[in-house]
Amino acid sequence: MSELVESETSPLGQPRSGGPVAMRLENVAVSFNGRTAVRDATFDVTKNRVTSLIGPSGSGKTTLLRALNRLHDLTPGAKVSGRILLEGTDIYRGNITVTELRSRVGMVFQRPNPFPTMTIYENAVSGLRFNGIKKKAILDEAAESSLRAAALWDSVSSRLKVTAGQLSGGEQQRLCIARALALDPEVLLMDEPTSALDPIATLHIENLMTTLKSRVTIIIVTHNMQQAARISDDCAFLLMGEDRAGELIEFDATEKIFNNPADSRTLDYTLGRFG
Amino acid sequence: MNVAGLAPTPDTGHELRAEIRRTSQNARARRVLVSRVMMTLCAVAITLAAVPLVMLIFELLQKGIPVLDTTFFLKEPQSPTLLSPNATGGVSNAIIGTLALSIYASIMAIPVGVLAGIYLAESDSKLASVLRIVSQTMAGAPSILMGLFAFSFIIQDLHIGFSALAGSFALAVLMLPVIAISTEISVRNVPQTLREAGLALGAKPHKISLKVVLPTALSGIVTGVILAISRAIGETAPVMLVIAGGYTDSWKPLDPVSALPLTIFMNAKSEWPSLRAQTWGIALVLVAFVFVLSLTARIWASRKQKVGN
């Protein structure tokens, strides 16, 4: 692990920012029933930064993201190859259970998906309860701190006992963020978390991400290039190849990707010439 | 507006637009006419469908209400005699019998049906697809089959005798596929994103089933169960072979019992006008039972929609 932190560049030549590494991807490829959906993803996710995955539809952003907490495990025919290291531990072959991995790598989905039969409070602590924690004091504290962290506490503290369906879309998504934060994860994966939200709710979530990165490393898939430019520190650009498999074209600091990319295709995409 | 350097374009679209306007006006007149004719046909169809229903309810109330009194609800039946041709007694035995039958049948059918439905929804195995076909076929099978099966299995093979148990067994077999199928549909309708949310929080699959999927599907499951009970309550065929139509009030599973639909069947062919008149009261009570149950089912179903958004 210390070796990872000290190395100047990642072993496969992709440049990185030099900070401590939260997750390292080495030649990651995902295939479904033998058909490759994304390949050649090699980059380091630096701690306490926001890393965005951008690219047109079909470039494999979401597929790649879902490999990072093994959500493909239950898909029949799905295969993940290459290595994904969380703090130096291979998450597919190393000494880590899926349950532990998912409590250390949280996820927020494209559409807000709070549990509809649970109250706001129950949603916030659902991850802890799934993992067997029953002590009320711990749950109460986790509920308050995670809802505060998701900037939701002030508006819901008086109605923790109402079902989550009564919140607005933006509030529901922040509840989903709180639900993930309650497990105190090291990495938070976000799959187009604002694509179903209005601009104001989107702004709230974006501000939240900037605040949260001091506490958790964020990896976000986004269709919205302005969003990637606004909130991310590092950026991976993916593109669908000729065989319809997505591949990593370029990974660098967001500023470099948008202002001075190494690959001309990256420039074409960020300038809006296609996609 | 002309931009400098560009020649003004002649307005060639003018005639086309006029033509479109003419055609669309003609088309509109035709649409209005067709619409009126169709609306009239719909109204006629609705009336045709509603008339028998309204007549039935009217007759049910008109002939049923007069026979409803405390004797009707609280007394066991009597045989009318030439000296007292109107001494029919009541139908408390059939009311209690119907309640007992549906309670015992529910105790047998609900746990098995719900678990089977969950299995059908969660499993992709060969066994599941076979079971699915079997339950779909069973749901459509004529209900007298269940009575025949209960007769041969409970009474002839197990020697248990004509009883509430045998009748509720027949009804349970009838309810089972209905409950299993509606449970399967409700569980399948739980959005995949909720399961994924559970997985992403580190929940084991069985915890997701118990804490996320089942509570979300619950209102749909309850609706299906209630509809199955209300179907079973009205059935005559499966019970008439096996419950012996007992004349005394009894909640005991091994006693012969009666049931409301069976009593209608028996009384309707009686030579006593007083007994034939009583059938309308029984029918009214039966319809009231079913009405209350379907109303409850509707309330549960609408609850589901509220939770669903």
Assigned token pair, B177: 């596929």
CA atoms within 13 A of residue A218's CA, in its CB half-sphere: 29
pLDDT of A10 > 50? The answer is: no
Residues in chain A closer than 8 A to B215 (CB atoms): 115, 117-118
pLDDT of B10 > 70? The answer is: no
User: Does the beta-carbon distance from B307 to A116 stay under 8 Å?
Assistant: yes
Question: Per CATH, is B96-308 categorized as 1.10.3720.10?
Answer: yes
Which amino acid would we find at residue B84?
S
Report pLDDT for B50: 95
Q: How far apart are CA A66 and CA A79, in angstroms?
A: 12
**Can you give the pTM of this predicted structure?**
0.77
User: Does the beta-carbon distance from A109 to B196 stay under 8 Å?
Assistant: yes
User: Does the beta-carbon distance from B200 to A115 stay under 8 Å?
Assistant: no
- Residue A239 inside a domain? The answer is yes
pLDDT of B308 > 60? The answer is: no
- Residue A24 inside a domain? The answer is yes
Q: For B225-239, what is each residue's pLDDT tens digit? A: 998 999 888 888 888
The CATH number of whichever domain residue A189 belongs to comes to 3.40.50.300
Report pLDDT for B7: 59
Residues in chain B closer than 8 A to A113 (CB atoms): 191, 193-194, 196-197
pLDDT of B87 > 80? The answer is: no
Residue A248 pairs with which residues in a beta bridge? Answer: A238
- Residue A275 inside a domain? The answer is no
Instruction: List the single residue in A with minimal CA-CA distance to B212.
Output: A115
A270 CA: distance to closest CA in chain B (Å)? 31
Q: How far apart are CA A146 and CA A157, in angstroms?
A: 12
CB B165 within 8 A of CB B252: no
Report pLDDT for A123: 95
Closest partner residue to B200 among A106, A118, A165, by Cβ? Answer: A106
- Residue A251 inside a domain? The answer is yes
Calculate the CA B22 to chain-centre distance. Answer: 53
For chain B, what's the residue count? 309
Q: For A160-197, what is each residue's pLDDT tens digit? A: 999 998 999 999 999 999 999 999 999 999 999 999 88
Report pLDDT for B228: 92
pLDDT of B185 > 90? The answer is: yes
A116 CA: distance to closest CA in chain B (Å)? 6
Return the percentage of chain B with pLDDT > 70, whole number: 94
Report pLDDT for A137: 94
Concatenated DSSP letters for chain B? -PPTTSPPPP-THHHHHHHHHHHHHHHHHHHHHHHHHHHHHHHHHHHHHHHHHHHHHHHHHHHHGGG-SHHHHHS-B----SSSTT--B--HHHHHHHHHHHHHHHHHHHHHHHHHHHHHHH--SHHHHHHHHHHHHHHHS-THHHHHHHIIIIIIIS---SSHHHHHHHHHHHHHHHHHHHHHHHHHTS-HHHHHHHHHTT--HHHHIIIIIHHHHHHHHHHHHHHHHHHHHT--HHHHTTSBT-SS----TTS-B--HHHHHHHHHT-S-HHHHHHHHHHHHHHHHHHHHHHHHHHHHHHHHHHHH-
Report pLDDT for B51: 95
Q: For B38-57, what is each residue's pLDDT tens digit? A: 999 999 999 999 999 999 99
pLDDT mean across residues, chain A: 89
B140 CA: distance to closest CA in chain A (Å)? 33
pLDDT of A233 > 70? The answer is: yes
Instruction: List the single residue in B with minimal CA-CA distance to A185.
Output: B201
Residues B105-109 have a mean pLDDT of 94
Instruction: List the single residue in A with minimal CA-CA distance to B191.
Output: A113
Please state the domain count of chain A. Answer: 1
Residues B225-254 have a mean pLDDT of 83
- Residue A170 inside a domain? The answer is yes
Lowest-pLDDT choice from A8-22, A50-64, B23-37, B53-67:
A8-22
- Residue A58 inside a domain? The answer is yes
pLDDT of B4 > 60? The answer is: no
A144: Cβ contacts below 8 Å, ≥ 6 apart: A153, A157
Q: How far apart are CA B141 and CA B238, in angstroms?
A: 12
Return the percentage of chain A with pLDDT > 90, whole number: 76
Residues in chain A closer than 8 A to B123 (CB atoms): none
Portion 103-142 of A in contact with B at CB < 8 A: 103, 106-107, 109, 111, 113-118, 126-127, 129-131
Give the confidence band of A11 by pLDDT, cuts at 50, 70, 90. very low
pLDDT of B108 > 80? The answer is: yes
Q: For A61-118, what is each residue's pLDDT tens digit? A: 999 999 999 999 888 899 999 999 999 999 999 899 999 999 999 999 999 999 999 9
Q: A178 lies in which domain range?
A: 2-270
More confident residue, B178 or B86: B178
Q: For B194-228, what is each residue's pLDDT tens digit? A: 999 999 999 988 899 889 999 999 888 998 999 89
pLDDT of B306 > 80? The answer is: no
Instruction: Provide residues of B within 8 Å CB-CB of chain A.
Output: 191, 193-194, 196-204, 207-208, 211-212, 215-216, 218, 306-309
Report pLDDT for B304: 55
- Domain limits, chain B: 96-308
CB A43 within 8 A of CB A34: no
pLDDT of B164 > 90? The answer is: no
- Residue A216 inside a domain? The answer is yes
Closest partner residue to A117 among B193, B199, B216, by Cβ? Answer: B216
Return the percentage of chain B with pLDDT > 90, whole number: 35
Residues B264-274 have a mean pLDDT of 87
Report pLDDT for B5: 52
Q: What angle do CA B54, B58, B60 make, to 5 degrees?
A: 115
pLDDT mean across residues, chain B: 86
**CA torsion sign, B295 to B258 to B269 to B151?**
positive
CB B251 within 8 A of CB B92: no
User: Does the beta-carbon distance from A103 to B202 stay under 8 Å?
Assistant: yes
- Relative orientation angle of helices B164-188 and B92-122, to the nearest 10 degrees: 40
User: Does the beta-carbon distance from A180 to B198 stay under 8 Å?
Assistant: no
Give the confidence band of B75 by pLDDT, cuts at 50, 70, 90. confident
Closest partner residue to A130 among B191, B203, B218, by Cβ? Answer: B203
- Residue A121 inside a domain? The answer is yes
